Chain A
Amino acid sequence: MSDKPETRRIVIEPVTRVEGHGKVTILLDDEAKVKQARLHIVEFRGFERFIQGRPFWELPVLVQRLCGICPVSHHLAAAKAVDGIVGVDTLTPTALKMRLLMHHGQFLQSHALHFFHLSSPDLLFGFDADVSERNVIGVAAKYPELARQGILLRKYGQEIIKATAGKKIHGTGAIPGGVNKNLSLEERDQLLSEIDQIMEWARGAVALAKGYTLEHLDDLSGFGSFDSNHLSIVRSDGAYDIYDGGLRARDAEGNIIFDHVENEKYDEYLAEEVRSWTYMKFPFIKEIGPEAGWYRVGPLARVNNCDFFDTPEAEKERKEFKSLTDDKPNNITMAYHWTRMIELLHSVEKIQELLNDSDLQGEDLVVTGKRRDEAVGIIEAPRGTLFHHYRVNEDDQVTMANLIVSTTSNNEPMNRAVQKVAEDYLSGVPEITEGLLNRVEVAIRAYDPCLSCATHAMGQMPLIVELMDQQGRIVDRKIKG
């Protein structure tokens, strides 16, 4: 018998109920204590390289193929950058509002998908519930009205995308300097006819997420939680904004690290670190450095960062959320769900406001400007701040692309959450159950990661858990699915 201490390695692959494919590895020492826990992204996409040589006007349509869940985010971030390439800094009111409508439709459908389809099984049935019930089919069976609302909220968001981009997924609405269509009166009236019902369901979604968080606050406060910096864009007056604004970063106490940073200067403030065990980079705030300069993005960061929402119901909800932490940033990982639903409500309010704006029926769709060779487009995607940076040669071909997608910024936070949950729930436990492993996934799911920024896998994904000795021999193996 060897005297060497035995290390066991637990692998969760793939992580389920998230977009894309990833795996978690957990190393246990000979006393079954967690030595290391990591989230690995195992896909390589290569977009930044293979779009080189393509003409710049293709970018908004080409690059959105990164994702099947939030393609509008990539479509609009690329469109904003391409606006810069064609020398346009200000769109026509019709073009701007069509893009905003598209973007809020996207937030609505993406947030509804995540909350109702992917995360609600954990919240409604409990982390340890029978896995055969803890899924969207189980939700539909036990809470049919809730499941129906989730599906129809998402459908409404998809219909808005279709009305503004031509297709529910991978449309073409935003073009260099503007948009290719306005909103017809027929499209507007159809969408307006459902808005009151959608608003009611959005209020219910906030109440559900808020109620769950407050009811389980004692358990959730420490669940995968830690102090962090927060990054997002905010409007020039500090308002919440998902389409346009300067970069703002706060520390865990709420102190401003930088504010209203112009999009073009993002790389003076942020940098990325590469680690050998994952295809995903680790962004950080340059001034602080990679050790402590990492930050969160997404709903939690945006609601923590902004000074106010410019719609009444979302602002009321924001104030209630912030009152929990005396107006300081909330660092509870599971609070992502609550803030995500506040954002969903805000998007419905904005959709209603926009649908009643006659600018959407305007005919002035595109403006032109003086050609430039480099531009940056930054927006807030449902999962967080999204950066698109391009350089173009005199023949109109892309020569450089740098994309920092939202999930990349949440890489370090997700790894910290995995480490924390593993230490809190798996260390020293004699038997590692499926429910305990699900806790690791629950922490990852809170961030709504889009691991490949790609389309969904269909059907049930297998979960494979392997216990290995130090030589890599499998000593135990469980398969689900």
Chain B
Amino acid sequence: MEKVVTFLLDGEVIQGQEGQSIMQAADKAGKYIPRLCAHKDLTPHGSCRICTVLVNGRPQSACTQPIADGILVESETPKVNQLRTDIIDMLFVEGNHFCMFCEKSGNCELQALAYRFGITAPKYPYQFPQRDVDASHPDIFLDRDRCVLCGRCVRASKELDGKNVFQFVGRGVEKRIAVNSEKGLKDTDADVVDKAISVCPVGAILKKRVGYAVPVGRRLYDHQPIGSASEDETTK
């Protein structure tokens, strides 16, 4: 029998199973911790830091930090939410995110997080990086301008699809998502039904010709902010 672990999340007593991350235990208890690179079907990555919480006063990523008896976890506090807001602000200016015509708008987790944290305009200067699109695949469109380097596609391709279509190349500000062929996506074994395609939280990896098929008003985050109970769990 697994050991029950008890800790405090924003002053509330939470019980989880030994070996769970703070995020897993919080999800089980119905407490939402904002996230971007984390996905319930994938190994935690701990890279985006949106799920940062304070554990006994020290910042930790909730998706990778295991729970322990008696820890004090702070999540929904002004200080922690300011950290998250700053990260989201940086993600927006680091890429080329044009929500006004992006077909993922309304279903985009980055955009939804920005709305959740009340970001109406970026506070940092735009970087306008030069990035390439890969339209070579007949059914998949890769738009690196919108990539937030969350690595979901990298992990999903390996862990869920049993392939190795996506990988990171470069370091620091030069880091990019790459595909497993110099000739582009068309030359890989990527398939439009792969999990790696559907787990993208933003509009970087798209199924071609879907576009704006879902009308405004019926999109995932048109009425409820991200993290609401009614949200489709498969997108996380």
Contact = CB atoms under 8 A, between A and B. Distances in A.
Interface of A: 53, 55, 57-58, 60-62, 65, 165-167, 170-173, 175-176, 180-181, 395-397
Interface size class of B (residues with CB under 8 A): 10 to 19
A172 B216 contact: yes
A180 B214 contact: yes
Interface in B212-233: 212-217
B211 A58 contact: yes
A364 to B, nearest CB: 15
A286 to B, nearest CB: 34
B211 A65 contact: no
Contacts of A175: 211-213
A165 B212 CA distance: 11
Contacts of B210: 57
Nearest to B209: A57
B135 A397 contact: yes
A181 B133 contact: no
Contacts of A61: 101, 103, 211-212
B7 interface: no
B166 interface: no
12 contacts: A57-B208, A57-B209, A60-B212, A61-B101, A61-B212, A172-B212, A173-B215, A175-B211, A176-B209, A180-B214, A396-B135, A396-B209
Contacts of A65: 100-101
B100 to A, nearest CB: 6
Contact of A55 (B100, B141, B213, B214): B141
Contact of A180 (B135, B141, B208, B212): B212
Given A58-B211, A173-B215, A395-B136, 15 more contacts: A53-B135, A57-B103, A57-B208, A57-B211, A166-B216, A167-B216, A171-B216, A172-B216, A175-B212, A175-B213, A176-B211, A180-B215, A181-B215, A396-B135, A396-B209
A60 B211 CA distance: 10
A184 to B, nearest CB: 10
Most buried by A among B100, B135, B211: B211
| Majority secondary structure of chain A interface residues (helix, strand, loop or mixed) | loop
Nearest to B133: A53
Contacts of B209: 57, 176, 396
A345 to B, nearest CB: 30
A424 B161 CA distance: 76
Contacts of B100: 65, 170
Contacts of A170: 100
Contacts of A55: 135, 141, 208
B101 A58 contact: yes
B157 to A, nearest CB: 21
Interface string B118-152: 00000000000000010110000100000000000
A65 B105 CA distance: 15
Contacts of B101: 58, 61-62, 65
Contacts of A397: 133, 135
B217 A166 contact: yes
A236 to B, nearest CB: 31
Nearest to B213: A180
A60 B101 CA distance: 9
A134 B5 CA distance: 74
A256 B214 CA distance: 44
A167 B208 CA distance: 24
A58 B100 CA distance: 11
Contacts of B214: 180
Nearest to B135: A395
Contacts of B217: 166
A172 B141 contact: no
A171 to B, nearest CB: 6
A287 B203 CA distance: 47
A263 B117 CA distance: 48
B77 to A, nearest CB: 35
Nearest to B100: A65
A191 B103 CA distance: 29
A217 B104 CA distance: 54
Most buried by B among A57, A60, A167, A170: A57
A57 B217 CA distance: 20
Interface pairs A-B: 3 shortest CB-CB: A166-B216, A57-B211, A172-B212
Contacts of B208: 55, 57, 396
Contacts of A180: 212-215
B140 to A, nearest CB: 11
A172 B135 contact: no
B133 A172 contact: no
Nearest to A166: B216
Contacts of A60: 212
B122 to A, nearest CB: 18
Contacts of B103: 57-58, 61
A181 B217 CA distance: 10
A53 B144 CA distance: 13
Contacts of A62: 101
Contacts of A176: 209, 211
A60 B212 CA distance: 10
B2 to A, nearest CB: 47
Contacts of A57: 103, 208-212
Contacts of A167: 216
